[in-house]
Structure 1
Amino acid sequence: MRKYFGTDGIRAVAGEAPLDKRTIFAVGVALARKLGAGAHVVLGMDTRESGEWIAATLIAGLSEGGATAEFAGVITTPAIAFLARKHGYAAGVVISASHNPWQDNGIKIFGGDGYKLPDAVELGIEAEIDAVLAEGPGARAQGPEGTALPEANEAFRREYIEFLLAAVPGISLDNKHVVIDCANGAASAVAPQLFVELKGTVDVTHASPDGRNINENCGATKPHIVAAEVKERGASVGFTFDGDADRAMFADEHGNVINGDAVMLVCARDLKARGLLKHDLVVATTMSNMGFEAALKRSGIGMLRAPVGDKYVLEEMQKNDASLGGEQSGHILFPALATTGDGLMSALLVLDVVHRSGKTLGELVADLKNFPQVIVNVKVREKKPLEGFPKIAAAIAAAEEELKDSGRVVIRYSGTEALARVMIEAESEEAMQRHSKAIADEIRAELGV
């Protein structure tokens, strides 16, 4: 049973366990011990106001454990993965809570190969964290007060931008008008500089972080915001990122939201046409729509489903030698180009398909007909096994029985928030709404806040 790590690192309200100073310091010591004496780590963060003290405390813990850290400042999560691999760091660390509100923060760790850590490695770090904490508070275990961050290496950002441009050679906006929503997050430090180098009109929005406005009425969890901007400004396409820019959502020329399923469809067809889609296969998750699966099938492309979480998608891709995978939420994986999901990379690759095809983004996804799908998020006070509650189990069973030939039922806890997610997909809108409400109501009654 995991104690600190969720599906995407350690995440909590900043200042509260396990993101209190004592535990953060212990994470730094534990990671240093696991990496070995003299290990060198690269560390970056998003724009939350808690980022600086968390980073400083973690760096102090790394130092206590015998490691050193180089600071990249405000930068995206995939940039840290890239830098760790390129420069041979023992690990890359990002202080971010991705799409969560500003009060939250987190610690994401990449191996020196640029990949997220396997579950077994995370569990080993958890055991070491407990060992450090058990050694007693000590003079420094609360985290040294007033620890200053090292000066950020600004060259890292330029290196990352050059890597993105090199990954999509000849990329151009073709004088198109694009709207970019940076979510007041890490993309704010990179996207304006990246896209200004392409030929076109670029409107950058939500790129003025103040420490508390990250993801606030903007970003990848609210893609309708950039979609409305595209329509209002008469733009050709829009992109919106989450707080650490490891995923992106899109908007077409009509102001329609284009999610990760649709992006994978566009990219899968393009890769297949160029003979680059290995085994004519895409790896998605349990949340991807059946309409997406049907559209792939019409194009002669198969689909496998992995558990939710981009690292689980990647594991399934590696097992099956797949060249494309991702999540409906906008994490898209191109392992031939990068080791982790990268929202900026996805934006460039979609622009490239639009450029080479001569079609608009809307035209490229025009035949995608999604089944009606709803996701209801229920705030919970604890994450107990749902099968232990007869009324919840009965509501789920009733939905599964009715929809077994015409829909899907996926009920899971979020790996990053105190939420139960109820996803119902059905040919019938009425059945979808009825079952999602019934299940959500039972979860709320038994486990709700």
Structure 2
Amino acid sequence: MTHTVSIADLMARSGVAFGTSGARGLVTAMTDEVCFAYTCAFLQHLSFIGQFAPGRPVAVAGDLRPSTPRIMAACAAAIRHMDGKVDNCGFVPSPAVAAYAFARGIPSLMVTGSHIPDDRNGIKFNRTDGEVLKPDEQGIRAQSVDLPDLFDGEGMLKAAQPLPPPVDAATPYIARYVDAFGPEALSGVTLGVYEHSAVGRDILVALVGALGGKAVRLGRSDKFIPVDTEAVRPEDQQLARAWAAERKLDAILSTDGDSDRPLLADERGAWMRGDVLGILCARALGIGAVATPVSCNSAVELSGLFDAVRRTRIGSPFVIEAMNALAAEGQTSVCGYEANGGFLLATPVKVEGRTLGALPTRDAVLPILATLVDARRQCVALSALLAQLPARYTFSERLQNYPTAQSQALIAHLEQGSETDVLHRLTAMFGGIAGEAGGIDRTDGLRVHFKGGDIIHLRPSGNAPELRCYTESDSSERAASLNEQALVLVRDYRIG
């Protein structure tokens, strides 16, 4: 016996909807039935566009949050229901399962909530040739799925089958970078690896050793820690400074929960911003054309390092669309990166005469390694490498437990009227901390350019009840102070 559910209706009822990085929601809302239905809809959509057929494998992996094994089992049950074969990649980084699947021309999915707390989780879907894009999300949402009688009254599987024995997705992922950079690339370098609860923590340690460096394990946790690479927690800032001073480290490496967003601290324990790390990585690889969201540091243009820079909305699907457009326009080396540091390689590149293949999904390892190897090649510390770029600094934070509807109402209010009206309203709101508003950018959220050179950018989060605030200025202290003051003004602002 089966019953038919509309995915659009199920998303509305469950609250588990698509954001900028796949389907996410509260763990209590992500019942086995919901995850089963979304996976079936994903495969039905891929079947319609010729990327899935019965008998074909689908790769599955997950992060280390407590709810992940259950959700992986529900997704695997859906793959079997759709007459697919489960390639269980186990607990590996999102880019590792994606690379495994891309190499075989098969779909994949990653059960992860990325950096958000473990009362939430998510599923990130990949086509056979890259991440799902916005048209794919619409195609998945448009599906109706016939659900079998496998679930109890709480929406949980009555009898979940165990996953098959894992296949090895980690070894080829490690080999990708060892083959490109060489076994002596980090020789003589001592690197701390902040492990916390990142699923790629052991892979990072293995990579440092395979490239000739010395890895020092730091801060491993059995409890999930929601490390956000765009808003590094004060305790993680303090830990990095203390480790750097005590251990005499050349750098500290880490990632978010599913290890697709990097964290790299210099020799002093100062975490580098992800958008600056993206610039350094692109330069180290000799990239010609860059796609990056509107929220990222303007040093990418000011540096004059790149033939083309294409700005996008926030989210890897938009970056991928822009990368594809740049390649179609004849650019031969194309990459993308986000403010969170995730780096996407659209075309193969040469590294010391060796070819590094494209990986058009967010990756944490490449920006970390390329930047470290470049610093070693130049015989400079990471702080000196950073100082080679124009002096523009970004900072981001968020108002948590700030409902999406409230964020949207605030943005709509600030944007009312003519551009002159909007600039006057923004000057009235932020003029005391940033001066006169001189221009606005509505590419994604509301980005305000002030005549003195500061930038304040407000954007509702796409996957959590949060309001993001991005700031840019001519010093790191100024960018952080501006952000703190802007969030206070936003929090206390009353419409009407």
> What's the TM-score bracket when you normalise by the shorter of the two chains?
0.7 to 0.9
In structure 2, the partner of 1:419 is: 466
8 Å CA contact retained: 1:30, 1:65: no
- Per the alignment, residue 386 of structure 1 pairs with 409
Q: Does 1:251 align with 2:265?
A: yes
| Residues 72, 329 of structure 1: alpha-carbon distance in 2 compared, 3 angstrom cutoff | same
Which residue identity lines up with residue 489 of structure 2 in the other structure? Answer: A
Which of 336, 346, 368 is the aligned partner of 1:347? Answer: 368
Q: CA deviation at 1:292?
A: 5.1
Distance change (3 Å), C-alpha of 1:346 and 1:388: closer
The match for 1:71 among 66, 88, 105 is 88
Query: How far does the alpha carbon of each residue in 1:238-272 deviate from its partner, in whole angstroms, 9 at most, with x for none?
Result: 1110001111021111222212222233234334x
In structure 2, relative to structure 1, the CA distance for the partners of 1:143 and 1:361 (3 Å cut) is: same
* 1:42-57 equivalences in 2 (<5 Å): 42-57=59-74
- The one of 92, 112, 115 equivalent to 1:99 is 115
Going from structure 1 to structure 2, the CA distance change for 1:27 and 1:207 (only over 3 Å counts) comes to same
SS at structure 2 position matched to 1:159: helix
- For residue 186 of structure 1, give the secondary structure of its aligned residue in structure 2: coil
What is the aligned partner in structure 2 of residue 307 from structure 1?
Answer: 313
For structure 1, the residue ranges without an aligned partner over 5 or more in a row are none
Task: From 401, 405, 410, give the equivalent of 2:437.
Answer: 401
Structure ranking higher in strand proportion: 2
Q: Secondary structure of the residue that 1:303 maps to in structure 2?
A: strand
Q: Are the aligned partners of 1:178 and 1:230 in contact in 2 as well (CA < 8 Å)?
A: no
Residue of structure 2 in register with 1:320 after alignment: 326
Deviation sequence 1:5-61 (CA, Å, 0-9, x none): 110011112121xx1222111112222323334132000001111111111111112
2:381 is aligned with 1:360: yes
Alpha-carbon distance in 1 for matches of 2:227, 2:372: 26
Deviations 1:58-82 (A, max 9, x none): 1112222222211111000000110
The Cα of 1:227 is off from its aligned counterpart by 4.5
2:226/2:257 contact within 8 Å kept = yes
Q: What secondary structure is seen at the aligned counterpart in 1 of 2:33?
A: helix
**SS of structure 1 residue aligned to 2:196:** coil
* 1:238 maps onto 2:246 in alignment: no
Q: What do the CA deviations read for 1:205-246 (whole angstroms, capped 9, x no partner)?
A: 2344x3x32336999844523344223311001111000111
Structure 2 counterpart of 1:123:
138
Tell me if structure 2 keeps the 8 A contact 1:283–1:317: yes
Report the AA paired with residue 157 of structure 2.
Answer: P
Distance 1:84 1:154, change over 3 A: closer
- Contact 1:283–1:305 (CA under 8 A) maintained in structure 2: yes
Aligned to 2:354: none
Q: What do you get for the CA RMSD once the two structures are aligned?
A: 3.0
Please state if 1:205 is matched with 2:241: no
Cα 1:249–1:108, aligned 2, differ >3 Å: closer, same or farther?
same
Range 245-254 or range 418-427, more displaced: 418-427
1:333 and 2:344 matched: yes
Q: Report the alpha carbon displacement of residue 348 of structure 1 after superposing the two structures with TM.
A: 1.9
> Which residue pairs with 1:289 in the alignment?
297
Alpha-carbon distance between aligned partners in 1 of 2:280 and 2:231, rounded to the nearest angstrom: 19
2:488 is the counterpart of 1:437: yes
Segments of 5+ residues of structure 2 without an aligned counterpart are 1-7, 48-52, 328-332, 349-356, 417-421, 431-435, 439-448
Q: Deviations over 1:138-166 (max 9, x none)?
A: 44483423413323325322222222322
Q: 1:185 is matched with which residue?
A: 198
Do the aligned partners of residues 380 and 220 (structure 1) sit closer, same or farther apart at CA in structure 2, a change above 3 Å counting?
closer
Residues in 1 aligned to 2:306 and 2:464: alpha-carbon distance in whole angstroms: 37
TM-score by length of 1: 0.85
Letter in 1 for 2:142: A
Judged with a 3 Å threshold, the aligned counterparts in structure 2 of structure 1 residues 315 and 232 are, in CA distance, closer, same or farther, namely farther
In structure 1, how many angstroms separate the alpha carbons of the residues matched to 2:105 and 2:306? 40
Q: Which residue does 2:180 correspond to in 1? A: 167
